[in-house]
Structure 1
Amino acid sequence: MAPLIYQLRLLGVILGAVQLISGYSFKNCIAEPYSNLKGFRCNNRADKNISAIVKDLPGSAVNLTASFNRVEHVPSNCFAHLPNLNYLSLDQNQLNYIDPLAFQKLHQLKYLNLSCNSLSELSPSTFEDLHSLTSLSLTRNSLKALPETIFSNVAGLKTLNMRNNRLTNFSAVVKSVSHLTNLTFIDLCFNNLTSLTHSNISLPQSLKKLYLGGNNLHTLGCNPSLFRFIELLDLSYNPKLPSVAFKGVDLRNVKRLTLQFTSVKADELLNISNIYASHVVFSGMGLKNDSLLIGLCATLGRKLKWIRNIDLRHNGIRNINGALSSCPEITGALDLSNNELKKVSCLNFLNKHMNLSKFTAEHNHLTSLPNCTVKKMPHFKSLKELSYRYNRILSVSKYAFSHMPNIETLKLNINNVAFLHREGLKGLKRLKTLRLDNNLLTDLFNETFKDNCDLEILNLRNNRIAVIFNGTFMNLRNLTTLDLGGNKISHIQPSGLDGLKSLSKFYLDGNSLKQIDSFFNSAFQDTLTVLDLQSNFIHFFSENTSSPFLKLRKLSDLKLDSQRNHGLVLLPQNLFKGLHSLRSLYLTNNNIASLAPQAFDDLISLNFLTLDNCCVGVAKLQPGVFKNLRNLTRLIAENMGIQNFSKEVFGNLTKLRILQLNRNVMQSISVDVLESLPKLEYLDIRNVPLSCTCKNSLLQNYTVNNPDVQVVYLDTMPCPEAKNKKFHNFDSKVCYIDLGKYLFFTTAAAVFLFTVSPLLCVKLYWKIKYSYYVFRSWFSDYWSRLRDEEEKCKYDAFISYNFSDEEWVLNQLLPNLEGNGSSFKLCLHHRDFELGRNIVDNIVTAVYSSRKTICVVSKNFLQSEWCSLEIQLASYRLFDEHRDVLLLVFLEPIPERQLSSYHRMRKVMLKKTYLQWPGSDCIDPSQAQELFWNQLRRAIKSGSRLEKDPDEDFDPASKETGNVENLLSDKDYLLP
C-alpha cells in the first residue's frame, strides 16, 4: 500500500493536486534530538554567511549554537525570522563586524555569546532590540571601548563578561552599566585598565561580583564607595597594585577579596582597610616563609578569635613548621595547594587547629605519607575531607591517617603511589569517598579496605593492578561505585568481588580480561545497574556460550565496545539472556562476524544501542534481529557495511526516534521501512552512496517533503555518480511522469475493458475474431503467398461449406468439377487439410493456396464459426488485395433479415452477382442445373486480378440480383 501512496503523491506533484510540505532537514544545521524543533547546532560549517547558515531554520527555534565557523560579519535582520530565540551562541567564529540591526526582533533572547571572535567595536544600537537579555559574553575579542548607550535597552541584564579584551576606560564601562539595576556580575579581567578612575556615576547596587584581575592597575583611584555593594572582588594578576591603593576604600561588604599576584602585603592590607580579615584570600600574596606567615597570623589574631577558612595557595611555602600556631583557630578549610611543601608530618603544624574540617595540599612536592601512631599525636576528629592530589607521593605507610579517624573524603589521586600498606587506611571507618586513581598500585589485599565499612565510592582507575584476590572487597558492603578501569586486570578470583552487596556502578574498562563467565555470580547481582567492560580482550568461542549476565536482573547500562585484538568476533546468541532491564548497550568497534536473529531477544527495555564499526565488512543483519526492541529510541549503526535496509530487520522498531546510518554501503533505502518507524525524528544517512536513480525517487521525495523526520545535512549529500549533483534535487521527473501516464492509461483501459468490451463481444464478436486471425496471419509464413503468381496456386478452388451440406458437395459439386471431363482440382476439409496442424493455419493455407474460394452458403453455413472465418479471409483478399477470388453459391433462398448481421457478405453481394443452386421447384431442373455448372466452371477459369478497384467498376443499378441481362454479361458472377 505504501508504494502506491507515494506513487499517487508523486503524480499529485506533477498535476499540482497536492500542496508540497516543507521538509524537516536543514542545509547547515542539525536540530537537537528530542527538542521539538527548538534546539539547533550549526557548527563547523564552510559557509561564511551567517544568514545563509540559519535562513532555513523554523520560527520555533529557541536555542541556537553557531560556533566554530568562519563567519566574519553578522548582517542586519539575519535572525529576524527566529523571534522565539532564548539562547544564541556565535562563539569561536571570526566575527569582526556586527550590523547595528543584526539582532533585530529578538525580543525573547536571554543569553547571547559572542566570545572568541575578532570584534574591535560595537555600534550603540547593537543590542537595542534585546529587551529580555540577561546574560552577555564578549570574552576574547578586541574591544577597546564601549559606547555609553550600548546597554540602554537591556535593563534586565544580569551577567556581563568582557574578559580578555582591550578596554582601557573603566569610567566608560561604569557609565554604560550604571542604569542596569539587575546586573549582578561583571568580568573585566585581562583588559588594559590602568586605574578605576570614574565619574560620580556609581556601579549599580545590584552588582555583587566584580572581576578586575589581569589588568595593569597601578592604583585604584576610585571613589571610596565604588565597592560598597560588591561581595566578590577579584583584583588578582595586577602585579603593580600596591597595598596603599586600598586606603580609604570601603570594603566592608566584600565577602571574598582575591589579590593573588599583586604587590599588596597581607598584613598591610588588614591594617589600612576596613575589610573583614576572614574575607581576604591570601593566595599568591608572597607569604613564602615563616616570618611572613607569623606576621599575618599575628595581625589576624588581633582582629579575630577564630577564622573559618584560610587560603594560602600559590605562596611558594616550603616549610610551615609552627608558623600557623599564632593564627586564630581555623574551624573550616585550610588550603596549602600550589606551594612547595615536601612533607606534612602528620599535620603536626596544625596542633592548634583541632577543629579543622578540610585540609588541602594539592600540587606540592609530597613524596610519602608516614605512620601517624606516634604518642601525643594530635587527633583531628573534626576533619572530614583531605586532599593530597597532584603530588609525588610514592608510598602510604600503615596508620597514615589514624590521626583523622572521622575523615569522609580522601583524595590521593594523580600521584605515584606504588605502595599502599595493607593497613595504610586503617581506622578510616567513616570514609565514604576514596580516590586512588592515576597511581602505580599493583596489588590490593584483604586487609587494604578492611576498616572502610562505610565506603561508597572507590576509584582505582589507571593503576597497574593485575589480579583481584579473594576477599579484597569483603567488608565494602556499602560500596555503590567501584572504578577499576585502566588497569591490567586479567583475572578476578572466584571470591574477589564478594562482599559488594550494594554495588551499583562497576567500571572494568581498559583491562586485560579475556573471560567474564564466572565472577558475576556475586553479591551485587541484584544491585548492579552499570557495567563497563570496554577495551578488554574478551572473546567467545561458541555460539552456545551461556550468558555471564544472567543474574544481573537490574543491569541498565552495559559497555562491551572496543574489545582489543580484533574485537569480539563471535557474539553468542544467548549472551544477553536475562537482561530484561537493560536500557543502554554499547558494541562499538568490534569485528562481529554476524548477529544471531535471537541475539537481542531478551532486551525488551533497551532504549539505546550502538553498533557502529562493530562488524567485519558487510554486515549480515538477519531478519528479526531487532524484533523485540520495541522500546528502542536510538540506534547507532554507522559504518557497519549494511547493504540492505529491510523491513524484516528494522520494521519492529516502532519507538525509534534517532537512527544513525551514515558511512554504510546501501545504494537505496526503502521508504516502506522508514514508514514502518512511526516515531522516527532524526535520520543520519551521510556518506551513504545512495544512487540518484529512479529506485531512490521515492526516498528523495520522503527526505525532501517529510515534515516529521530530520535528515541530517540533506542539502550536502552528493550523488555518487556525479559529485557536483545533490541527492535532494536530482532529476526524478522521468521516474514519475511515465508512472503517471501509465496509471492514467491503465485506468482508462480498465474502464473501457469492463464497460465497452461486453458490448463489443456481443455485437462485433466475429469482427474481433477475424481481426485476430488476420493479424496472426500477417506474421506467419503464409503471408508471402500474397505475392505468388496465380499459376503457382496448388488448387483451383477451396470449398467452404458446412458439415450439414457435405452430401451436396460430395454428390453434386465434386463430380461436376473434378469429374465428367473437368480438370479442376478442389481443396476440401476432410481430404486436403494437413493432419495435426492448427485448424486456423490449415484454413489460411487453403485460402491463399487456391485461385478461388467457393462458399456454399446455407442457413447452417451462416451459423458456423469456421465458415464465417473462411468467408472473412476470402473477402479480405477481395477488398484489400484487389483479388477477385470469392464465389458465393447459395443452396437455398435466405431472407434479407438473416443476412443483416453479415455485413461483409452483403457487401460482396451488392458488388458481385452470386450463384444460386436451382432446386427441384424449377420448371426444368436438369437444364437449370446444367447452366449452373457451366457458369461455375466459367467463373473458376476466369482470372482473379482486377484492373481497378471493384468498387469503382460496379454499378448497382445494372447488377441487381435476378436480372436476366446479368446472365449474358462478361462478368464471372452470374445469376441463372
Structure 2
Amino acid sequence: MQDSAMEQGHGSLAQHGTALLALMLVLVRAPGVPAYGFRNCLQAPDDPGHFRCIQRFLSNMAGAVGDLPANTTVLEVAHNTIACLLPGAFTHLPALRSLHLPFNQLCDLAPGAFVGLQALQSLNLSHNQLQTLPAGAFTGLPNLTELVLNTNPLRMLPVDAFGPLPNLRRLLLCSCHLCDFGTIAQSLQGLTALQELSLCGNRLRALGPSPGLPPSLAVLRLCNNSLVAVDGGGRALLAGVRDLDLSYNNLSDADSFARVSLAHLSILRLAGNQLDPFQLLAVSNVPNRSLDFSGLPLGAKGVHGVCRCLGPAPLTQLLLQHLELHMLHNGSLAACPPMRALDLSGNRLRALGCVGEFLSAPQRAVLENLTAEHNLLAGLGSCLQAMRLPMLRELNLSYNRVLSVGRGAFAFAPNLRALRLNINTVAFLHRQALGTLPGLTELRLDNNLLTDLYIESFAGLPRLETLNLRNNRVAVLFPGVFKHLGHLRTLDLGGNILRRLTPAAFHGLGSLARLYLDGNHIAHISADIFQPVQTTLEVLDLKGNRLQYITAQLTHEPPFLYLNRLTDLKLQAQQPYGLKLIPHHFFRGLTALQALYLAQNKLLSVPPDAFDDLAQLRYLTLADSSNGMWDLPPGVFKNLSRLRVLDLENAGVHTLSLEVLGNLTQLEELRLAKNELRTFNGSVARALRTLHYLDLRKCPLSCACADAWLWPWLNSSHAQVVYLYNLTCARRGPPTYLHGFSATVCFLDVGLYLFAATAPALLLFMALPVLYLRAYWRLRYHCFLLRSWVNERWQRADEGHYRYDAFVSYNSADEAWVLQDLVPQLEGAGLCLCLHHRDFRLGRSIVDNIVDGIYSSRKTVCVLSRRYLRSEWCSLEIQLASYRLFDELRDVLVLVLLEDVPERELSAYHRMRKVMLRKTYIHWPPEPAAQSLFWAQLCCAVRGSHADGKDEELCCFDDPGTEGPGPSS
C-alpha cells in the first residue's frame, strides 16, 4: 500500500511538472513572433506604416491614433463620428505623410490640431461639417502640398486660413457653400506655390472684386457654380492660369471674356453654358485651339465653323463631345485640321458610316485614335470599299446600341490594334467582320448578346493577344473556334452559359496565358480539356460554375495534371451548393501554382493529401466554407512551406493544431475571423515565426489560460492581431474583453499548489499507522503527562515528597496473590502501597489516576504474568512507568515475574520485551523456602536509598537462582 501511494505521488508530481513546463513554454515569448494589436485601426499587411480606421464608430481622435506607432506614414480615419480635433491630436505621429479624415462629423478644428506633423504632405478633410477654418487651424504643416476640403458647409474663408501652408500646391474646395470669390482669393495670397485650385460645386456668382490669384496657379476649376460673367476681378486675374474649367455655369455674355486676359490658356472648358463660342473667340484673346467646344451650342455654323476656327495646323486631339451631333455627312470634318485623336463621345450619332467618308485625305493620313462612346450607333455595315485610315490604331465604339456587325465592317482600318465594341447589343457578328484586321491585338466584345462563335470569326486575327467575350450568351465552343489565334495571351469567356468543354475548343491557343471561364455552367472538367494550353497557361478562372464531386476518389486522371505552369487557379463559389468535396490528389500536376481560391464552397471535408502537390503555393483561401467543414485534417498543409497568406475566415474551424499549421514556416498572413475557435494554440504561434498579420475577429475565444500567449505579444512590432482590443470572450453576462482578462492566474500552477497542500496530508495519513505502532503510548503518555501536570501542579510543589512507596501494577486475574501475599508482606514491612481499588479517586479518568499514582509513588511494582501481558491497561501502566524512568533518570521500576513466560511468547509483546531486556527483574519462587528471600529482595528494591541513604543498587541484588536477561538500568 505504501509503495502504491508513493508511485501515485511521483506520478502526480510528474503530471504537475509537465503542466507547469507546458505553461511556461506557452508564456515564453517566441523569438521573432511577438504580437500586437490596435484598438480601432488596421495596419496594411503590405505596408507597416499604413493604417486604416474605417467605420469604427469613433467619436474622438484619441481612440483612433492613441496606440499607433510613431513610424506611421499613412492614416485613414473615415466613416466615423469624430466632431472635433483637439490641439496636438497627432503629435506622437511625426512621420505622418498622408492623413485622410473624410466622412466624419468634424465641425471644429482647434488651433494647433496638426502641430507636430512636419512631414505631412496630403490632408483630406472632405465630407465633414466644417463651417469655418479658425486662425491657426493648419499651424505646424509647413510641408503640406495637398489639402482637400470638398463637401463641407464652408461659407467663407478667413484671410489667414492658409497662412501656415507655404508649400501648398493643390487645394480642393468643391461642393462647399462658398459664394464670395474675392475672400477666397484673398485667403490664397500667401500660397506662392499653389498650382491647382478647384472650386466646383459652390455658389459663386462672380469673380470680383478680387485681389488677384497667386502667379503660380496653373489649374483653376470653377465648374458647377452660378457664374454669369468672368470679369470683375481685373484683367490680370486669370493671366497665369493654363487650365480653366468654367463648365456648367450660367455664362451667356461673351463680352465679359474681353475684359480678362486669357492669352496663356492651354484649355478652356465651357460645356453646359449658353455661350456662343464663335463670338467668344471674336471678342477675347482666348487662343482658338485652347477652347474646348464640347457641350457648347454651335448654332448654324456647326462643326464646320469649329473646324474653320482651328486653322490648318495639325492638332493632337480634337474634342467634339456633347454637341448634339446626329449625323456626320461626307466631308463634315473636311475643314478641320489634321488630328491624331478625334473624340465624338456623348453625341446622338446613329451611324458613322466608314469613318473615312467624313474626313479629308490629310486627316485620314494621320488619325490614330477615334472614340465615339455614348452615342446611338445601331449597326456597323460593310466597309470593304471604303477609304483607308492607315494610321488608325484604336477604335472605341463602346456604350452604343450596335446590334450587328457586317462583313468587313472595319476594312477602313487595316492597321487597327485595339477595337472596343463592349457594352453594346451585338447579337450578330459576321464571320468575316474582323477578317481585315491582321494587326489587331486587343478585341473587346464583352457585355453583348453573342450566342455563336465560328472558326471564321477570328480567322483573320493572327496577332490578337486579348479577346474579351465576357457576359454574352455563348453556350457552345465549336471545335477549333480559336485555332487561328496562336498569339492570344488572354481569353475571357466569363459570364456566358457554357456547359461543356472539349479539348478541341482550345486547340491552337499555343500562347494562351490567362483563361477566364467564371460564371458559366460548366459541370465537368478533365485533363484533356486543357492539354492544348498545358505549356503556357498561367491563370485559370473557374469561379461560379457547377463543379461538384460526390466521392473522394477520382474516376479519371486529375483535371489539372498537365498544367505545370499554372500560377493562379480560382474555384470559389461553385453553384448551387459549392464544391463540397475535394477528391484525393485533385490538384496533382500543379507544381508551379502560387494562388489557389476555394472560398464560398461549403466544403464538408478536405483530404490530408489535397495540397501535397502544391509546393510553390503562396496564397490559399478557404473562406466562407462554414457549412460543415469543421476541422482540417492533420498534415493537410504539410508541403506548403512557402505559403504566405492563408485565409480561413468563416470556414467553420474549431481547432488548429501544430499538426495542421506546423509546416507553414513562411506564413505571413493568417485570417481566422468568424470561426468557432475558442483558443489559438500557443505552439502554433511559435511555429509561425514569420507571421505578421492575424485576424481572430468574431471568434468565441474562451479567455482561458490557453490564450495567455497573446499577452507576451503585446506592445511589440512583428505580428498584428486585428482589433486585439475589441476581441471579446465567449461568456455569459456583460461582454468581457480579451485584453481585460487577467492572466495572472496563468502564471500560477494551481495544480502544483494543490499538490503542495495535499501531499503533506497524504504523508501524514501514511505516517499515522507507523506512529501508532511505534510511538502511540509515548505520545499518549506525554499528552496525559501534560494534562496531569497542569491539573495537579499545585499538589506537587515539592518534587521530593511522595505519598506512596510503591504503585502496584497488576492484572485483575492476579489480584488474589497481590492482596493475600504481596500487600500484607510489604505493608507489614512498613511500606505504603497505592492500589487501584483502594487509592484511585472517584470521578477522575482512569489514565489520570494511573499517572497520578505513578508520580505519587517512589517506585512502580509490576506483577508480570501472561494475563498481564495481554492487558492493555497493564501495558499502559508499565509503559508510563518506563517513561518516568527515562524522564527522571532514576530506577523507579521494579519487575516481579509471577510465572515463567517463554521467550517465544514474550516476543509478541515487544514493548514488554524491550523493558525486560533493559531492566533486571525478580522471579517469584514456588518453593516456600525461597520465598523469604524474595520478600527481602522486594522490600529492599522498593525502599532503595530512601531506607538507609545508600544507593538502591546496593540493596537490590539478584536472586542467585534466577537469571536476569539484562543489567539493571
* TM-score (ref. length: structure 2): 0.78
- Is 1:25 equivalent to 2:50 in the alignment? no
Instruction: Letter of the 1:249 partner, please give it.
Output: V
Counterpart Cα distance in 2 of 1:928 and 1:350: 165
Structure-1 residue corresponding to 2:248: 237
Q: How far, CA to CA, are the matches of 1:324 and 1:518 in structure 2? A: 57
Report the equivalent of 2:373. 362
2: CA distance between counterparts of 1:345 and 1:65? Answer: 51
State the distance in 1 between where 2:111 and 2:697 align: 38
Question: Structure 1: how far apart are the matches of 2:100 and 2:287?
Answer: 40
SS class of match (2:434): coil
Q: 1:2 to 1:917 in 2, by over 3 A?
A: closer
Residues 963 and 975 in structure 1, CA contact (< 8 A), matched pair in contact too: no
Q: 1:320 aligns with which of 325, 328, 334?
A: 328
Q: SS at 1:691's partner residue?
A: coil
Q: 1:11 to 1:664 in 2, by over 3 A?
A: closer
* 1:571-610 alignment runs, 5 A limit: 571-610=582-621
Change (3 A) 1:705 1:326: closer
1:660-699 alignment runs, 5 A limit: 660-696=671-707, 698-699=708-709
Within the candidate set 345, 351, 355, 1:337 is matched to 345
Q: Which amino acid aligns with 1:59?
A: A
- Structure 1 residue aligned with 2:518: 509
2:208 is equivalent to residue 197 of structure 1: yes
Residue 150 (structure 1) aligns with:
161
Match of 1:161 among 159, 172, 175: 172
**One-letter amino acid of the counterpart of residue 452, structure 1:** L
Letter in 2 for 1:497: F
Query: Separation in 2 of the partners of 1:590 and 1:963?
Result: 110
Q: 1:329 to 1:741 in 2, by over 3 A?
A: same
Amino acid at match of 1:400: A
Distance of aligned partners of 1:905 and 1:82 in 2 relative to their CA distance in 1, 3 Å threshold: farther
- Name the CA shift for 1:663/1:242 in 2 (closer, same or farther; >3 Å): same
Deviation string 1:665-686 (CA, Å, 9 cap, x unpaired) is 1222221211111111111111
**2:741 partner letter:** F
1:10-89 alignment to 2 at 5 Å? Answer: 24-36=36-48, 38-89=49-100
Equivalent residues in 2 for 1:313-712 (5 A)? 313-322=321-330, 324-347=332-355, 348-352=357-361, 353-355=363-365, 356-374=367-385, 377-545=386-554, 546-696=557-707, 698-702=708-712, 704=714, 707-712=717-722
Equivalent residue for 1:721? 731
Per-residue deviation, residues 287-321 of structure 1 (Å, max 9, x unmatched):
3x774223323333xx3344332211112211222
1:269 and 1:205 map into 2 onto residues whose CA distance is 25
Aligned partners of 2:894, 2:581: CA distance in 1, in Å? 86
SS of 1:609's equivalent?
Answer: strand
Instruction: Judge conservation of contact 2:512–2:533 (CA < 8 Å) in 1.
Output: yes
What does residue 286 of structure 1 align with?
297
Q: 2:217 aligns with which of 200, 207, 216?
A: 207
Secondary structure of 1:558's aligned partner: strand
Residue 312 (structure 2) pairs with residue 304 (structure 1): yes
- Pick from 97, 101, 105: which aligns with 1:94? 105
In 2, are the aligned partners of 1:700 and 1:727 still within 8 Å (CA)? no
Q: Which whole-Å deviations, capped at 9, do the CAs of 1:11-52 have from their partners, x for residues lacking one?
A: 999xxxxxxx9962111111111323x111111012211222
- Structure 1 distance, partners of 2:951, 2:545, is 111
Shift of 1:150: 2.0
Q: Cα distance, 1:258 vs. partner?
A: 0.9
Aligned equivalent of 1:754: none
Counterpart-to-counterpart distance in 2, 1:641 and 1:929: 105
Q: Which residue of 2 aligns with 1:217?
A: 227
Q: 3-state SS of the aligned residue for 1:329?
A: coil
Question: 1:416 and 1:513 mapped to 2: Cα distance?
Answer: 25
Q: 1:307, 1:328 within 8 Å by CA — same for their partners in 2?
A: no
Measure the CA separation in 2 of the matches of 1:54 and 1:544.
Answer: 54
SS in 2 for 1:175: helix
Distance verdict in 2 for CA 1:693–1:267, change over 3 Å: same
* CA deviations over 1:52-74 (Å, ceiling 9, x no partner): 22211121111100001111111
SS at match of 1:410: strand
Distance 1:381 1:795 in 2: 146
Can you list the C-alpha shifts for 1:201-224, whole angstroms capped at 9, x where unaligned?
Answer: x43333221111111111111333
Q: Is this contact kept in 2: 1:61–1:84, CA < 8 A? A: yes
Number of residue pairs matched?
828
Look up the equivalent residue of 1:916 and give its one-letter code: T
Contact 2:531 2:562 in 1 (8 A): no
Note if contact 1:888-1:914 (Cα within 8 Å) is conserved in structure 2: no
In structure 2, the CA distance between the partners of 1:960 and 1:127, relative to structure 1 (3 Å rule), is: farther
Distance 1:11 1:28, change over 3 A: closer
Quote the offset at 1:855 in angstroms: 14
| Aligned mates of 2:950, 2:51 — CA distance in 1 | 95
Query: Which stretches in structure 1 are left out of the alignment for 5+ residues?
Result: 14-20, 751-756, 758-766, 797-821, 828-846, 857-870, 890-903, 940-954
Q: Which runs of 5+ in 2 are unaligned?
A: 1-16, 784-808, 815-863, 898-909, 960-965
Secondary structure at 2:458 match in 1 = coil
Cα offset, 1:176, TM superposition: 2.5
Offset at residue 529 of structure 1 (A): 1.6
Q: CA deviation at 1:778?
A: 12
By relative contact order (CA 8 Å, sep 6+), the higher-ranking structure is 2
Identity %: 35
AA aligned to 1:335 is: D
Deviation at 1:768, TM superposition (A): 13
CA contact (8 A) 1:913 1:975 kept: no
Counterpart pick for 1:774 among 771, 774, 798: 771
Distance 1:176 1:736, change over 3 A: same
Shift in Å, 1:705? 5.7
2:525 partner amino acid? I
d(CA) in 2 for partners of 1:3 and 1:31?
Answer: 36
Question: Which residue number corresponds to residue 835 of structure 2?
Answer: none
Which whole-Å CA distance do the structure 1 matches of 2:250 and 2:125 have between them?
A: 29
**How far is the alpha carbon of 1:6 from its aligned partner?**
8.1
Given that 2:90 and 2:114 are in contact with CA atoms closer than 8 Å, whether structure 1 keeps it comes out as yes
- What CA distance in whole angstroms lies between the structure 2 residues aligned with 1:772 and 1:701? 49
SS at match of 2:605: coil
1:183 is displaced (CA, Å) by 1.9
Whether the aligned pair in 2 keeps the contact of 1:409 and 1:434 (CA below 8 Å) is: yes
Please say if 1:119 is aligned against 2:154. Answer: no
Change (3 A) 1:26 1:323: same
Distance (Å, rounded) in 2 between the aligned partners of 1:292 and 1:155: 47
Equivalent position of 1:140 in the other structure: 151
Q: Please give the alpha-carbon distance, in whole angstroms, between the structure 2 residues aligned to 1:959 and 1:96.
A: 117
Rate the CA distance shift 1:929–1:169 in 2: closer, same or farther, 3 A: farther
Q: Label 1:219 to 1:594 Cα distance change in 2 as closer, same or farther (>3 A).
A: same
Partner of 1:916: 920
Counterpart amino acid of residue 771 in structure 2: V
Deviation at 1:694, TM superposition (A): 3.9
Shift of 1:393: 1.1
